[in-house]
Amino acid sequence: MSFLSDPLIIGIQGIHRALSRALNVLVDESRQFGNENQVDGKRTEGFRMYARTFCDLLHAHHDGEEELGFIHLRSILSPEDMVALDQEHEVMLEALHALQTYVAAPAPWASSHWLGLHRAAASLLVGWEAHRNNEEQQMVKASARMSHDERVRLAKALEQFGIANAGPGERVVPFILYNLEGKDREAMGSRMPFFMKGILVPFFWRGNYNVMRPFLFPR
Ligand SMILES: [Fe+2]
Ligand SMILES: [Fe+2]
């Protein structure tokens, strides 16, 4: 099976792409806000929801990998490869906690707060980029040694873990879909029930995530 049609790799890459794009938005926007004199309250509210959703999703993504994915990978990959993945997660956890502390602080935020948040997001980005590349390579390697059923089972289990742990669907699902565009959004959407992506996200949930709109790709 080509990894282009591997459900495990499609799922991991889709979430990674959405998280990468979102983290870059957090880095850029927080720097910009930090350099502005006054930030509109509505924009801050949207940014906070966007940043909180990012943090919740990244936590759930890592927990799912550690509790389900890595356990599976340990029986396939070398101990050295696994130590590297574990350590990368640990380094990112520290940066993620720093970012969460900034995001949880009551608004309005002074310029120094925005710039502190910017530094925390930028430091997370450094760890994230190195980890993302390594993890995708290891996943492709491991997946090639799994049976089709194993891949499908693990992809499903990771997905269900994410749904149960990443926070309210009305924030998380649009966050994932609209941090992707074109073929990436299509591939991720194809893994979701039509009722969710075709009815809930564009209509019923719209009011719940609209405030994040300035930071998302257009519908
Ligand atoms: Fe990952
Ligand atoms: Fe990871």
Please give the Cα distance from 67 to 126 (Å, whole number). 24
For residue 42, the CA-to-ligand 1 centroid distance in Å is: 31
Task: Supply the CATH classification number for the domain 3-168.
Answer: 1.20.120
Please give the Cα distance from 105 to 49 (Å, whole number). 13
> What are the boundaries of each domain within the chain?
3-168
Q: How far is CA 166 from CA 52, 57, 127, 158, 172, in A?
A: 11, 5, 21, 11, 7
For residue 112, the CA-to-ligand 1 centroid distance in Å is: 31
Please give the Cα distance from 157 to 164 (Å, whole number). 11
Q: How far is CA 197 from CA 49, 175, 182, 216, in A?
A: 20, 12, 15, 16
Is the pLDDT reported for residue 25 higher than 80?
yes
Please give the Cα distance from 126 to 121 (Å, whole number). 9
Give the ligand whose atoms come closest to the C-alpha of residue 67. 2
Three-state SS at 145 = coil
What one-character DSSP code corresponds to residue 214? G
Helix 148-165 vs helix 7-35: crossing angle, to nearest 10: 30
pLDDT in tens, 26-59: 999 999 999 987 788 899 999 999 999 999 999 9
In this predicted structure, what is the pLDDT of residue 92? Answer: 96
In this predicted structure, what is the pLDDT of residue 184? Answer: 94
Please give the Cα distance from 134 to 55 (Å, whole number). 21
pLDDT in tens, 110-145: 999 999 999 999 999 999 999 999 999 999 999 999
Q: How confident is the model at residue 4 (pLDDT cuts 50, 70, 90)?
A: low
For residue 56, the CA-to-ligand 1 centroid distance in Å is: 14
In this predicted structure, what is the pLDDT of residue 138? Answer: 95
For residue 62, the CA-to-ligand 2 centroid distance in Å is: 5
In this predicted structure, what is the pLDDT of residue 38? Answer: 79
For residue 13, the CA-to-ligand 1 centroid distance in Å is: 8
Query: Residue 87 has which token pair?
Result: 């350590």
For residue 108, the CA-to-ligand 1 centroid distance in Å is: 33
Mean pLDDT, residues 99-115 taken together = 95
Q: How far is CA 212 from CA 6, 34, 71, 137, in A?
A: 31, 19, 35, 32
